[in-house]
Structure 1
Amino acid sequence: MKIIFDNIIFSLQKSGGISILWQNLLSKISETKEFKTEFIEYPYSINNIFSRQLKIPIDKIDFRSGRILSIKRYFPPKIKCTEPFIFHSSYYRTSNSSKAINITTVHDFTYEKYFPFLKRIIHSWQKFKAIRKSDYIVCISENTKSDLLNYIPDIDSNKIRIIYNGVSSDYCPLSQKPYPNLSNSILFIGSRVDYKNFDYTIECIQQSSFNLVICGNRLSNEEQIKLDTKLGPDRYQVVENPDNHELNKIYNSVFCLSYPSSYEGFGIPVIEAQKAGCPVIALNKSSIPEIIGNGYPMLRDLTQAEFNRIINQFKNPDIRNKIISLGYQNSSKFSWEKMIQEYTDLYLEISSLIKQ
């Protein structure tokens, strides 16, 4: 059976969690002999760091014009096909072809919860339209499924499948700390928008003896002033967008990861840290309890007392070793190979139903 993958996400962002998922999925699917595969591409995809890692045969790529992509991104791509085919878009598009079996992967409802009115309205219009049009819906966590049914209660829940994100095998424990000078540092990684509670981490570290390591985009002027005021230039450092291998060294060196996000569709850094043997401070909300594993200590609320409660557990060698062991066990459940296999199983299921 033919599968057409819409790679539009590679033209909408230079990096990001959805690009990581899509690159890992395509890295194996493009090599499969079980399906006939085709990939819709737009010119700007060459700017995406994950797109550049793919080696898709050029004869499998349907190159489309990048003209007015800012508008075309919201509408179904034209596809001519006389036989039934699976259409799976990387970002909330469906095919209007009568031969298409549409699959939509839903990552989270961040826009609906936190974004300004206009951005939220446009995004939700496209997302909800794709979800309603789809024959199969993949959610990356049970929490995302729950959010979906809350926002769109008319959806048939039997169409929904849970396929968890994977995490790279680049994250693993190392025999020695690559950066011993970071042993008294707490790591904060990723976006620093309000619901990620970066300010909460700063405030808690200010009241502690720890330093702060920040991995992600360059600091804004406002962030730098805040950090200089709260911590002082000597108590924090920034590592801009490290690759997996560098980030694994950091996970292996720091005291713990601070990830007090109020909302996540999945929460990949939690599993990355666990794979590397790095304890995680996370808030008991949204998908995190589902992803972090049973028995793992979590923040009950965003207070200094709660932060200190978790930190004190991490300082106890026996408790710390138990928490690290729990993290290893839990993180073993998540891999890109497992995710790819579950998508492949879904494609095969659809194919078998069409042939009946």
Structure 2
Amino acid sequence: MKIVLDNIVFSLQNSGGISVVWGELIKRILFFKECDYLFLEFIPNNNIHRNSLLIPLTNIFSQQLNTLKYKRYLPVHLPLCCKFIFHSSYFRICSNSNAINITTVHDFTYEYFYHGLHKWIHCWQKYYAIRKSKYVVCISENTKRDLLKFLPDIDEKKVHVIYNGVSDDYYPLLNIENYNLPYDPKSYLLFVGERKAYKNFKLLIESMCHKDWKIVIVGAKLTPEEVKILDLNVGSMHYYFAGRVSNKQLNVLYNGAKALVYPSSYEGFGIPVLEAQRAGCPVIAYNASSIPEIIGDTPLLMNSLDREELCTKIELLSDVKLRAEIIGKGIENARKFTWDKMYEQLISLYKEAYNRNEF
């Protein structure tokens, strides 16, 4: 069985959630070597996840990076005479009549939160890929529901839900007080990831006003507006910007935190939720989109996005017994989501697609 994997996402971002997912898939493909694989990619690129992969040059069909600007939107033509699976990391299809196209859909943030030409181009490309694919993979039931909402003409039978996993890099640490932390263990809240409006970072910071809480922020550089909001509501001594950190460093921060606060209005999946749970860190999140199906049983789900409820959830963690119970359930829940399971389900789908489709 021949499979062509389109690594275009590694050229569209230097890091990010989709790169993590695609990188974890390729790691296992290179290790297990169950099929005949070919990788399509633009060179060179600076993606940190791609740079950690040792793909044999003989398995790479390369294109120059200066052609990415227009080729990213065009169907791929590969001169292959046999039947093959074509799975793109970011909404491309193969025009070869021998190709069985598979598309992965992560979320519908553009549909809900973006406007203008950028949104129109993204949606045009995504919908074209979905409609032209024989099989569509969604990373959560919520993403599948959104897909059928925005594209009601799509046959539900071709849509398959395959959950993301969580890395083994996250686990509880002993003697966390011996690690280098910005604040004392369990004395700070943690915020991880993007801080776009729908992530509700501002809500969290404003909720901390007049509270003796500290916060550690992981992600892209703070904007001047964010610094102003932090200084006004928290004070410079009560927040620490960690920037982008390694998995090892992030695991230490999860272990030292009082809680991960993840009040996002919308998620296609929510990998930081599981990372934190796996590390033994309680997670406060908003009860919407994919979060309820990912986070498991917890009293820390917010049913409304307001300061009072967020503060109430944080204060729940003062109960030592309840906190321990939440941590135990979180660790157990995170075990359900593994990259190996994702890989196995995708390989099973490839085989089903290959064996069902005759040319």
TM-score, length of structure 2 as denominator length: 0.96
Q: Match of 1:235?
A: 238
**Once the 2 structures are TM-superposed, how far is the Cα of residue 208 of structure 1 from its aligned partner?**
2.1
Q: Distance in 2 between matches of 1:282 and 1:107?
A: 19
> Which amino acid in structure 2 is aligned with residue 25 of structure 1?
L
Q: Distance in 1 between matches of 2:185 and 2:33?
A: 47
Residues 285-324 of structure 1 mapped to structure 2, 5 A cutoff: 285-324=288-327
**Once the 2 structures are TM-superposed, how far is the Cα of residue 326 of structure 1 from its aligned partner?**
1.1
> Which amino acid in structure 2 is aligned with residue 159 of structure 1?
K
Q: Distance in 1 between matches of 2:64 and 2:103?
A: 23
Q: Distance in 1 between matches of 2:302 and 2:204?
A: 12
Gap regions ≥5 residues in structure 2: none
Q: Distance in 2 between matches of 1:236 and 1:297?
A: 23
Seen in structure 2, the aligned counterparts of structure 1 residues 219 and 37 have a Cα distance that, compared at 3 Å, is: same
Q: Distance in 1 between matches of 2:62 and 2:32?
A: 21
Tell me how many residue pairs correspond in the alignment: 355
Q: Match of 1:79?
A: 78
Q: Match of 1:94?
A: 93
> What secondary structure, in the 3-state scheme, does the structure 2 residue paired with 1:168 have?
coil
- Is residue 2:3 matched to residue 1:3? yes
Q: Match of 1:245?
A: 248
Q: Distance in 1 between matches of 2:239 and 2:185?
A: 10
Q: Match of 1:281?
A: 284
| Residues 31-54 of structure 1 deviation map (CA, whole Å, 9 limit, x = unaligned) | 444211000110142x00000010
Q: Distance in 1 between matches of 2:331 and 2:43?
A: 41
Q: Distance in 2 between matches of 1:92 and 1:122?
A: 12
| Residues 270-310 of structure 1 deviation map (CA, whole Å, 9 limit, x = unaligned) | 00000001001100010000100134430011112211221
Q: Match of 1:29?
A: 29
Contact 2:210 2:233 in 1 (8 A): no
**Once the 2 structures are TM-superposed, how far is the Cα of residue 159 of structure 1 from its aligned partner?**
0.3
**Once the 2 structures are TM-superposed, how far is the Cα of residue 354 of structure 1 from its aligned partner?**
4.3
Q: Match of 1:267?
A: 270
> What secondary structure, in the 3-state scheme, does the structure 1 residue paired with 2:66 have?
coil
- Is residue 2:42 matched to residue 1:42? yes
Q: Match of 2:225?
A: 222
Gap regions ≥5 residues in structure 1: none
| Residues 48-95 of structure 1 deviation map (CA, whole Å, 9 limit, x = unaligned) | 000001011110000112233111101112211111100000000001
Structure 1 residue ranges (4+ consecutive) displaced by more than 4 angstroms after TM superposition: none
- Is residue 2:143 matched to residue 1:144? yes
> What secondary structure, in the 3-state scheme, does the structure 2 residue paired with 1:27 have?
helix
Q: Match of 1:155?
A: 154
Contact 1:296 1:326 in 2 (8 A): no
TM-score, length of structure 1 as denominator length: 0.97
Identical counterparts, % of pairs: 47
